[in-house]
Structure 1
Amino acid sequence: MIVGYARTSTLDQEAGLGAQVRDLEALGCERIFQEQVSSIGPRKQLDAATDFVRAGDTLVVTKLDRLARSVTHLGTIIAELEKKGVALRIVNLGVDTSSSTGKLILNVLGGVAQFEREMMLERQREGIAKAKGEGRYKGRKPTARAKSEEIKALAAQGLSMNAIAAKLCIGKGSVHRALAAEKPAA
């Protein structure tokens, strides 16, 4: 059986998910698991797909980045699939792990992809450091400080820190800090 997996990072990427599903259907996938979730969050449909496949099946994805977060994560997925006797096909790379050459190519490409990601993050850190040095990088605006008056008013009404945090969509620690700033040091 050919089983497909499609993923986009956000709900705003409907067209991307639709395109992946269309491509997987065109490749003859009999069952397609799809989700719209960040690569760092839990991916229940990926787990469902790897649980569903059986010996002799092929799991198909349109792109490597739709499947794995890192080379280590890719290795874990491949090991799980191999243990079950399932091949992995990545369409845009033309890689199919049903052959030893396909397995080799996939490992090399995974290593290159992780190297590129690490280089991108390094360039990003360098850019942030340069901007900070020039006084142009301020970081994100503090959200809780802007709500300190609301925090104090809600606390005066007798709401708990948990209730205030939930009502204002901020962390409990932020509520605590705003209230602690109110009290004079002893």
Structure 2
Amino acid sequence: MMDGKFVAYYRCSTEKQGRSGLGLEAQQAAVRSYLNGGNWKLLAEFTEVESGKRNDRPKLEEAKELCRLTGATLVIAKLDRLSRDAVFLLNLKNAGIEFVAADMPNANRLTVGIMALVAENEREAISQRTKTALAAAKARGTRLGNPQGFGGAVYRGGGKAAQKAADGFASTVIPTIHRLQAEGLSMNAIAKRLEEMGVKTARGGSWTAQAVKNVLARA
């Protein structure tokens, strides 16, 4: 039987699937079936709606951050469906948190690391086959499009060390606060929920409505 705190992560490959719940309900059912029995608490559920071409995983990052804040275990419905996703697997392997997959309960960081290497090898093989096919098409006189450039991220720095630390803490906890706000909770209710989750303030103390407001002001 499962015990402790858990954060669930689901993934839908298209926006249509995310809206319709196609595949999502099956993942939710798998997680609840896996956790069935025992003394456990599901703190939150995060759903990633993404294209297979995207490498960023904002919802996965939020889920991992909540696990770090609360000491919860990340639970995934179906790891086998993600076995060719090197980015996801490496994110999971290097997250520094405990995780479990409902369909592969014996999976661990070593297992996921091997899966990531295999996935990366397959990705490189696909890339090489694509380059070969494009070179052949160009040799036949096929006109190829120009790749689009990508803009660089803007980073901001400066300020005192204490202020940087406070800003850094605010950035980690703000997604959780925003999610609780979206549920219609008041500042007092959010503070109480954070306490229940086991999240500590930047100074390691207890949450109050004012502490929540301070984090929101920094964000």
Pick the aligned partner of 1:52 from 45, 66, 84. 66
Distance 1:74 1:50 in 2: 13
Distance 1:27 1:45 in 2: 22
CA shift digits 1:53-108 (9 cap, x unpaired): 133x321222266599636x64454333x3xxx31223445543xxxxx3222211
- Report deviation, 1:115: 0.6
1:33 aligns with 2:39: no
Other structure's SS at 1:32 match: strand
2:16 corresponds in structure 1 to 12
Q: Greater RCO between the two (CA within 8 Å, min separation 6)?
A: 2
Other structure's SS at 1:27 match: helix
Aligned length: 129
Contact 1:24 1:32 (C-alpha < 8 Å) held by counterparts: no
Pick the aligned partner of 1:63 from 73, 79, 91. 79
CA shift digits 1:128-163 (9 cap, x unpaired): 2222222346448xxxxxxxxxxxxxxxxxxxxxxx
Contact 1:63 1:90 (C-alpha < 8 Å) held by counterparts: yes
Q: TM-score, structure 2 length as denominator?
A: 0.47
Cα gap change, 1:108/1:36 in structure 2, threshold over 3 Å: closer, same or farther? Answer: same
Contact 1:7 1:66 (C-alpha < 8 Å) held by counterparts: no
Distance 2:26 2:9 in 1: 12
Instruction: Point out where structure 1 has 5 or more consecutive residues left out of the alignment.
Output: 97-101, 141-186
- Which residue type is aligned with residue 8 of structure 1? C
Distance 1:118 1:92 in 2: 27
Pick the aligned partner of 1:104 from 97, 106, 110. 110
2:7 corresponds in structure 1 to 3
Cα gap change, 1:128/1:74 in structure 2, threshold over 3 Å: closer, same or farther? Answer: same
Pick the aligned partner of 1:90 from 90, 101, 105. 101
Q: Which moved more, 1:3-12 or 1:60-69?
A: 60-69
- Which residue type is aligned with residue 24 of structure 1? V
CA shift digits 1:108-134 (9 cap, x unpaired): 111111111111111122112222222
Cα gap change, 1:66/1:104 in structure 2, threshold over 3 Å: closer, same or farther? Answer: closer
Name the structure where helix makes up a greater proportion of residues: 1
- Report deviation, 1:24: 2.3
Contact 1:95 1:106 (C-alpha < 8 Å) held by counterparts: no
Q: TM-score, structure 1 length as denominator?
A: 0.54
Other structure's SS at 1:34 match: strand
Cα gap change, 1:91/1:112 in structure 2, threshold over 3 Å: closer, same or farther? Answer: farther
